[in-house]
Amino acid sequence: QVQLVESGGGLVQAGGSLRLSCAASGRIVSINYMAWYRQAPGKQRELVARISSDGSTNYADSVKGRFTISRDNGKLTVYLQMNSLKPEDTAVYYCYADVYVSVRTMYWGQGTPVTVSS
């Protein structure tokens, strides 16, 4: 099985920064892509940022220019650097991995809460 362990969430004032980490472990043959999603109270889960195996990235319009997704292939870890945080960024942030184990499989992390105070 594959596990995704997130860390780095917390409480921060508006304008501040946080860095989320997601470490993947298990019998991973290769990673297709990894991503960060978020879900605010009463809202649907939404894609925040995604990084593919070739290093290409995609961002939600609401975070472009403020968030940066990156990865360390050797450590099977993906990061989300969040700058200029706004109260509307408050949500539980989930790591997502599309990987090849024996077959192509998708996994979710347990989520890490981010609260941005005004």
Q: What is the per-residue pLDDT for 108?
A: 97
Q: What is the pLDDT of residues 77-112, one digit of tens each?
A: 999 999 999 999 999 999 999 999 989 999 999 999
Of the candidates 66, 29, 32, the one whose C-alpha atom is nearest the C-alpha of residue 49 is 66
Q: Report the C-alpha gap between 12 and 89 in whole angstroms.
A: 11
Of the candidates 47, 105, 53, the one whose C-alpha atom is nearest the C-alpha of residue 78 is 53
Q: What is the pLDDT of residues 37-73, one digit of tens each?
A: 999 999 999 999 999 989 999 999 999 999 999 998 7
Q: Report the C-alpha gap between 56 and 115 in whole angstroms.
A: 28
Residues sharing a CB contact under 8 Å with residue 33, sequence separation 6 or more, in sequence order? 50, 51, 52, 53, 97, 98
